[in-house]
Structure 1
Amino acid sequence: MWPSATNPADSRPSRMPELARTRARLKQGLGDNLWTGYSLAVRKENRLFGLAGGDVSDINLSVPWFSAGKPVTAAGVLRVLERLPRLWPEPLSATFPDLAGTHAGTLTLEKILTHQTGLRIPEKNIPNDPAAAWEYFRRITPADAGLSQEQAAYDPAGGWWLLGQWLQRHTDRPWQEFLEQDLLAPAGIAGLKFRPPAVPIRERRAGKWIVGEPGIGPGAGLSGPAPDLVLFYEKLLHERLLAPSSLQAMRRAARTGKADATFGHMVDFGLGVILNSNRYGADTVPYGFGTQAGAGAFGHGGARSSIAFADPEAGFTAAVFLNGRVPETEHQPRMRILLDLLRSELA
């Protein structure tokens, strides 16, 4: 059985394709100690199929997606804007007067969703205490990260913490509750949650696998079975989550041709999603969707361990989790090879 992603009204799962080379690559990675487990789900032509192994013993298990969950939060923001479009151009100080006169107060939703805030804040830097967190954001400036104002630089957590607070203010609900119960659950996506996963992330330290720090917050805290994240993209494409105009806005190129100071590479962004950036180097672009990705492919990667995306031209959606965080110089090639194998077998 598939998890909550198998809604009989929406899919007719069929026999799993062999995916022989993809399966072999995943098993080889276990044997070579490149990762400790994996979960892969794909949906194509109304079929759901997937693979799991190692310490992810079942495709139904909840795994950590880290930043691959950012599009869920972005979809929540766009849903609110469908009701309150006047908020789109406003700086955050319009919603949070206490931020007036601060750098954070000048930020707009577009700047945050396209990573042009001049901020580069890891999760660990944001205080757990709300009052302390607000004080932190009243004081932070681009210079603290060696950036200039509005510089293109992927921001792991800072702007996304602010988006969570923005969602709470305009929905009168905790941001997690709004995203899980108002956005995802009505669309039949019950397995995606902003809570600790069943399978903890592993990270390589001094040649050994240890339990790594979990992702938290609206920018990195999503967990769930791989098929549910695949279903999220299916629902997006079939306009079950957002109005057509909102989906178009999400997928439209909002940041193009800019070198990202965090990634060290040109990467194009829509609103909360990475767009196919192979034109800047299919073999080098970070968190890409495979060297043969369609021009309209969009999605997001997660913390040296995962990626999820839709490729409308190729006719499939996919979510891949490799349990075993390694340096970017190792992760990017291994994921690229795996995605190219998967594409060749789905063709």
Structure 2
Amino acid sequence: MDTAIRIQPATEFPLPSADLDSLGFRREQIDRLTALIEHHIAEAHYPGCQVALARHGKLALFRNFGNAATSPAPRAAADDTLWLLYSNTKVVTAVALWALAERGLFSFSDRIADHVPEFARNAKGNITVLQVITHQAGFPNAVVGPDAWADHKRLREAVCDFPLEWSPGSKVHYHGQSAHWTLGVLIEALTGKDFRDVIRETVCERLGLGRELYVGLPESEFGRAADMHELLPTGSGSRPLTDNNSAAWRKSGAPGAGGYATARAMAALYQMMLNGGELAGTRIVSPRLLQYALRNHTGDRVDEFMGMPMHRGLGPHLRGTTENVRGLGGFASPRAFGHGGVGTSYCWGDPDSGVSFAYITNNRVPDPWHSRRLDLMANLVHTAII
């Protein structure tokens, strides 16, 4: 299997720019949003940030704040900075799977073992693709070690050896990376190609985002990548997070946590979903597939890891009508959908308004501060929409 990572030549960005007023945003609320980010950076909550806001196929806001890197010398965030997406990557991987399902390569009701027979080990033979992608598979704590990131024969073995922790379908419990390593192996079984190549060809390049959205970062693009950071033990300030800045991690393209993108690329990805599966004249999936993928497949069942209902779709989760939900903002439309990245980011789309928003930072900050700031950020955008 070819694991080389290609680079696509630069192309025109698929979302033309427009001003906030013409796209129906209250400027004073967006000013409050940017002022809050500037305050966060001044207070050393994170070194840098990038945000993007789009509506009806046009880009209303794309702005950088602070530093993409802090060591050995500060490097300012720039328009071409690529930010670690963490679990926002799950949505990118999901879009590739949606496209493969439309081609008839599999059904979400299929068992993983129908396509990867050895996955049946350890009583996993009846686990369906839908259970995996909606965090009901039963192996949330399974781990793929660094030895398998580049060796995809070893990756398949590691995934098939995952032990079962509870009966599949009996719980909703967030699978941090294990579910999407499984889906990466599934993509390779379906196509005979490296999952990173499939995601690049099926999603990133087709949407005109080949230089702004990566699952598997080429070494030649490392200079554009923002370094990830973590809080200092004192709880104030940050330091580089070595494991997530390594060459091996960046190249791995971990399908549930290892993507890199600009904020405007993520806003564009969600614009595709809001526009029925099409962006700038290129169709990725059909409206009917999107209706299926963006349906609440887990109802109001509590995600035992998150401690609240997460209303899981096939990739993104939905706001729903429960008291609160992570990341999307309490004021969000019940139909709003999105995903976040651990301690750093959230990206979402709102079908009722046609708005998509991406907020990405480079410091892993724990709860409760992390969730509170996400709610505030999202609500400032929701209340800017007119």
Q: TM-score, normalised by structure 1?
A: 0.89
Residue 6, structure 1, aligned to residue 13, structure 2:
yes
Give the unaligned 5+ runs of structure 2: 1-9, 22-26, 69-76, 279-283
Out of 327-336 and 189-198, give the one that drifted further. Answer: 189-198
**What amino acid maps onto 1:74 in structure 2?**
A
Pick the aligned partner of 1:266 from 309, 312, 329: 309
CA distance in 1, matches of 2:49, 2:63: 8
Which residue number in structure 1 is paired with residue 213 of structure 2? 192
Q: State the Cα distance separating 1:200 from its structure 2 match.
A: 1.4
Q: State the Cα distance separating 1:125 from its structure 2 match.
A: 4.9
**What amino acid maps onto 1:11 in structure 2?**
P
CA distance in 2, matches of 1:42, 1:53: 15
What is the 5 A alignment of 1:222-301? 222-238=259-275, 239-240=277-278, 241-277=284-320, 279-282=321-324, 285-286=325-326, 288-301=327-340
Which residue number in structure 1 is paired with residue 281 of structure 2? none
**What amino acid maps onto 1:228 in structure 2?**
A
Out of 164-173 and 20-29, give the one that drifted further. Answer: 164-173
Which residue number in structure 2 is paired with residue 140 of structure 1? 162
Out of 37-46 and 99-108, give the one that drifted further. Answer: 99-108
Give the unaligned 5+ runs of structure 1: none
Pick the aligned partner of 2:366 from 319, 323, 327: 327
CA distance in 2, matches of 1:87, 1:344: 39
- Residues 22-69 of structure 1: per-residue CA shift (max 9 Å, x gap): 111011111111111111100024343122111142233111111112
CA distance in 1, matches of 2:340, 2:104: 29
Which residue number in structure 1 is paired with residue 381 of structure 2? 342
- Residues 88-114 of structure 1: per-residue CA shift (max 9 Å, x gap): 322111111222343343221100111
Which residue number in structure 1 is paired with residue 74 of structure 2? none
CA distance in 2, matches of 1:64, 1:88: 28
Which residue number in structure 2 is paired with residue 154 of structure 1? 174
- Residues 308-337 of structure 1: per-residue CA shift (max 9 Å, x gap): 110121331011012211112220001111
What is the 5 A alignment of 1:45-64? 45=56, 46-56=58-68, 57-64=77-84
- Residues 203-232 of structure 1: per-residue CA shift (max 9 Å, x gap): 113034122232651111111110011101
Q: State the Cα distance separating 1:86 from its structure 2 match.
A: 5.0
**What amino acid maps onto 1:280 in structure 2?**
T
Q: Secondary structure at the match of 1:220?
A: coil
Residue 312, structure 1, aligned to residue 351, structure 2:
yes
**What amino acid maps onto 1:210 in structure 2?**
R
Q: Secondary structure at the match of 1:54?
A: strand
Residue 202, structure 1, aligned to residue 229, structure 2:
yes
Label 1:137 to 1:194 Cα distance change in 2 as closer, same or farther (>3 A).
closer
The answer to which structure has the higher helix fraction is: 1
Out of 214-223 and 307-316, give the one that drifted further. Answer: 214-223
Q: Secondary structure at the match of 1:50?
A: strand
CA distance in 1, matches of 2:343, 2:54: 23
Label 1:280 to 1:211 Cα distance change in 2 as closer, same or farther (>3 A).
same
Residue 83, structure 1, aligned to residue 103, structure 2:
yes
Which residue number in structure 2 is paired with residue 30 of structure 1? 41
CA distance in 2, matches of 1:250, 1:138: 26
Out of 77-86 and 162-171, give the one that drifted further. Answer: 77-86
Maintained 8 Å contact 2:144/2:159: no
CA distance in 2, matches of 1:342, 1:257: 25
Maintained 8 Å contact 2:119/2:161: no
Maintained 8 Å contact 1:44/1:316: yes
Out of 312-321 and 54-63, give the one that drifted further. Answer: 54-63
Which residue number in structure 1 is paired with residue 3 of structure 2? none
Maintained 8 Å contact 1:40/1:50: yes
Q: Secondary structure at the match of 1:296?
A: coil
Label 1:231 to 1:32 Cα distance change in 2 as closer, same or farther (>3 A).
same
CA distance in 2, matches of 1:178, 1:54: 34
CA distance in 1, matches of 2:121, 2:193: 27
Which residue number in structure 2 is paired with residue 107 of structure 1? 127
Q: Secondary structure at the match of 1:186?
A: coil
Which residue number in structure 1 is paired with residue 240 of structure 2? 211
**What amino acid maps onto 1:35 in structure 2?**
Y
Aligned residues: 336
Maintained 8 Å contact 1:126/1:158: no
Maintained 8 Å contact 2:100/2:106: no
Q: Percent identity?
A: 21
